[in-house]
Structure 1
């Protein structure tokens, strides 16, 4: 029975056709599960807004790319080309020396030359310091081994042992092949005339920047105008030779020519040096100017310096004091005052003035230098005797305001505009002070109470020589090539300040000063020379005048029949009892004029 029941159960469970083999509820659940699974495998439709968003992003990307292409190809095209060119080319600027400076006769005054510098690097020595010094000393003749060793102790590397070495010396040093010893090439400004032209040319420092004279004032003119060169290079950075211009190493060879004559300059300096030594003077200066155009033929200051070794000189010697220092001109200004009085019509050449030897102004007693009177004298004799008393009486005849305006017309308180650095303006008292105090008119009449530079005084006497024109003193003639052809010249201003008739009368009066007056020491037989001596007290830094300190001077004009040259000699603080413009400055002027006559071929007067 048990077996039969078991068999029945088995047959039911194994029969696939039997409707009762699977329960109804379970079948229903399986069918439902299968239906849900098939639905999941089917693709879900994409919403429209997502589709539009994707297309929008793609469209914006396309627009952005188009805009970028437009920027690169159109807007930034030139800029990108320049960047590409800068990557493919290299900008080189070859070393270009400064222009040479020459005098009026084409003598070299300043030029650039190749030289060598010896550097040592003790940290790299393979020999001992004593061994290296022993090898260097015989070549560097001015340095002992011990001196060289002392230099080695300064630092471990980059010690400059010697500068300005000649090529032969440099080659001998290189031949030693010592580790830690280096010879470098460089260019240096060289002044072959040494101190002869230092006052004019000036110098450049170690950075090749002008520091004085023409080297400073004409810095731009001395720089050669060579543009930078762009040459192609390979991907490895090397320069392609075919891209180099054929005239790479050529630059224009124009030189800066000056009006100075070195032959005259050398002679003038020698004459001045002798006189300074004779009178133990503090310093002196000589200026020679062509009054027709203002060109300076000589400009000397003593003592001076060597521009090749400027660092060894005192600072005060590096400036040209004929344009930077003021002084009271004294009696050398009297011819100019005479010209003003003649121009104003208050005197004539034959006017007679009584010189008693003393005049009192505002309670101040004014004497002549001789302490004596000259009696009745004409205007020429006023200059011959250098009478202070007569000058006071002459200038009193002018209305104070008129006199002041005429002094202003001379441009005393203005610069000459010379092409040298450091020029200062003269000093003329304030108009109110000048008008209110009679002593101001009195002192101005004999060249005191105001101050100017020696260069300004030369400019004013140049106006007497050339018919009344105020010319600009200058040193630069222009740019010339190696054949002497002038390619460029500066323009200098000229203005009329005194009538030609008056200047002719004054110059002829100045001739009598040399012939029969205080300027006899400058007289040269056969030549008509005009002049005026001056001996002025030196103003103190706090007002008043320094005791036993004076400036002696002499100014001359020649030849009288056709005035062309002005010569000024100034000697500062000569020592001794007989120190006047006639005894100290005039003899120097004679030597200078003698040389000028010889060099310029000035014929004797008829």
Structure 2
């Protein structure tokens, strides 16, 4: 067998290469070349068209969207915190303001004491027991917690323990001087009430987390107190840092307006002190004092007890949440004998009685199936209208009001707007109750009990409004606290109220017309009733409100409380309402104590002394001169309430 020569194999490979080179070097056919050129050109044109479409889409169709994205990458919008407006009383005393406060957090996992504190630890505390060591130094600064209780709190978790929501500057400074790692002071704006509990029932409070009003003026006048928010648009660089120089100086400016109230702070404090004194003496459940200017409706004082500190509202226990409402406007009660002057005015205005009308009071009277009597069951013989008020005769009042037909009496009660709100600029006002016309006129019983102030209900502020009509000549004025917004020069300002905020001062002002201040009885009738009420203080159950040298009118009330349609044995609201001064009537002063439990608890013994003290403070505050002798004669005697 013959083997192939290696030279012949090599020759075949060389021959193959020469053939391939010849093929590659052969010029292409003209048609093939043309197709290739068209293909390349087509690809190029399609690419240009796609690019053009994309540019058109980006520049025209998607311009706004892409511009917004680019803008957002280079701009940031901030909404800085804007402080709420300050609330002041009629003399500019601050009742509520925003200020920087400090919240204290503890992070036990990071506790570390400086060496000087370690060296000064008592022997009973090991330096390694950090929660106990921190509690030892921190508790005396906080002041309202023991080291043991604070230590328990610090052992609760490793981090994020809220110790205090708000600390004053003195405590903040003392905590910083400790230089303890793991204690964190967070600075933030907070609402502060410098008067503490002196005005809480009026101002209410602002909740710390959302900084919105939750009670009182803070809630009802949110649209006046909350300034308009500010939005800042700032540019930033590629790293996200805000570029300097693009924030104008006036961008963070806001108005200097304050919300001024008609409240007289010193009078408010005096009224609270007088009320607390009598509540403690007679062990009353709660109490209220109201001072209103009967000509304008301005409230100079509105006190409710018990009360709370709005700076520490979170410390109020659930069973005491009732303190957050102002029961002078939110709770109804039967006014009792304090309603008798109103009924007398209605009868006088109807012309069915005169000041000289007399009735015989044997001590009790039969009305339908019921025998009704005076509070003590005793008779008073033949007495005139002033005498009926002076001795607070239920039997006498029943006979006076029987001169009115039941329908006419009902119409006149309705004219008092008992079932309509007074319009006071506080939240939560409820309206009084009056039996239906059908029930009222069906039997003589309802008219009889209404004649001495039972069977119907009002709020304390409504009763004050009604007596204001006696003081001012027969007109119902709107009780209110808000005087308005004023700038630092004392110039009044206005804002557009938000419809969703209840009881806005502007809303009330916009809807107040002459028709909403109705004349419920004539000036002559009002004057006549005033003179009768003066005898109650001079010679009747209101003697404990008497002040030498001053003419005072008033009416006591001791009304039995009802629940679920039944009167509660032994449960009474004692009250006294006063109009002052009689010769130039301007102020209505009302005081009530709910469920006093001590013996001899009546309107004349419990509430009248409160009004006496408030009137004395009012005389000083308003510089009211006496109109008679200021020394009580030695032979003067007191009438039992």
* Residue of structure 2 in register with 1:6 after alignment: none
* Residue of structure 1 in register with 2:109 after alignment: 123
Residue deviations 1:179-223, cap 9 Å, x none?
543221122222221111122112223323322211222222221
Distance 2:225 2:439 in 1: 46
**Pair 1:222 & 2:222 matched:** no
Q: How many residues align?
A: 561
* Residue of structure 1 in register with 2:460 after alignment: 454
SS of alignment partner, residue 98 of structure 2: strand
Q: Report if the CA contact (8 A) 1:355-1:389 is conserved.
A: yes
Residue deviations 1:247-274, cap 9 Å, x none?
3443222111111111101111111111
Question: How has the CA–CA distance of structure 1 residues 70 and 403 changed in structure 2, closer, same or farther, with 3 Å as cutoff?
Answer: farther
| Residue 80 (structure 2) aligned to one of 72, 94, 107 | 94
SS of alignment partner, residue 185 of structure 2: strand
1:194-593 equivalence runs, <5 A: 194-207=196-209, 208-313=211-316, 314-488=320-494, 490=506, 491-492=508-509, 493=512, 494-498=516-520, 499-539=522-562, 541-593=563-615
1:69-218 equivalence runs, <5 A: 71-72=60-61, 77=64, 81-125=67-111, 130-131=129-130, 133-134=132-133, 137-141=136-140, 142=143, 146-167=148-169, 169-171=171-173, 173-174=175-176, 178-207=180-209, 208-218=211-221
Distance 2:54 2:67 in 1: 21
Structure 1 residue 288: Cα displacement: 0.4
Q: Report if the CA contact (8 A) 2:80-2:230 is conserved.
A: no
Q: Report if the CA contact (8 A) 2:82-2:230 is conserved.
A: no
Distance 1:345 1:168 in 2: 68
Distance 1:446 1:86 in 2: 72
Structure 1: unaligned runs, 5 residues or longer:
1-37
Moved more, 121-130 or 392-401: 121-130
Q: Report if the CA contact (8 A) 2:112-2:130 is conserved.
A: no
Q: Report if the CA contact (8 A) 2:139-2:150 is conserved.
A: no
TM norm structure 1: 0.85
Residue deviations 1:96-127, cap 9 Å, x none?
22222111111111222222223232334567
Distance 1:508 1:270 in 2: 30
SS of alignment partner, residue 219 of structure 2: helix
SS of alignment partner, residue 230 of structure 1: strand
SS of alignment partner, residue 210 of structure 1: coil
Structure number with bigger Rg: 1
Question: How has the CA–CA distance of structure 1 residues 123 and 59 changed in structure 2, closer, same or farther, with 3 Å as cutoff?
Answer: closer
Q: Report if the CA contact (8 A) 1:409-1:497 is conserved.
A: no
Residue deviations 1:514-537, cap 9 Å, x none?
222222222222222111111111
Q: Report if the CA contact (8 A) 2:578-2:590 is conserved.
A: yes
Distance 1:261 1:221 in 2: 20
Question: How has the CA–CA distance of structure 1 residues 532 and 148 changed in structure 2, closer, same or farther, with 3 Å as cutoff?
Answer: closer
Q: Report if the CA contact (8 A) 2:531-2:553 is conserved.
A: yes
Distance 1:236 1:204 in 2: 39
Moved more, 388-397 or 309-318: 309-318
Distance 2:546 2:337 in 1: 19
Distance 1:103 1:39 in 2: 104
Question: How has the CA–CA distance of structure 1 residues 580 and 338 changed in structure 2, closer, same or farther, with 3 Å as cutoff?
Answer: same
Structure 1 residue 379: Cα displacement: 1.7
TM norm structure 2: 0.80
Distance 2:168 2:463 in 1: 45
Q: Report if the CA contact (8 A) 2:470-2:526 is conserved.
A: yes
* Residue of structure 1 in register with 2:5 after alignment: none
Residue deviations 1:15-38, cap 9 Å, x none?
xxxxxxxxxxxxxxxxxxxxxxx9
Q: Report if the CA contact (8 A) 1:136-1:173 is conserved.
A: no
Q: Report if the CA contact (8 A) 2:104-2:184 is conserved.
A: yes
Distance 2:597 2:148 in 1: 46
* Residue of structure 2 in register with 1:25 after alignment: none
**Pair 1:601 & 2:619 matched:** no
Structure 2: unaligned runs, 5 residues or longer:
1-26, 114-126, 495-504, 629-641
Moved more, 339-348 or 575-584: 575-584
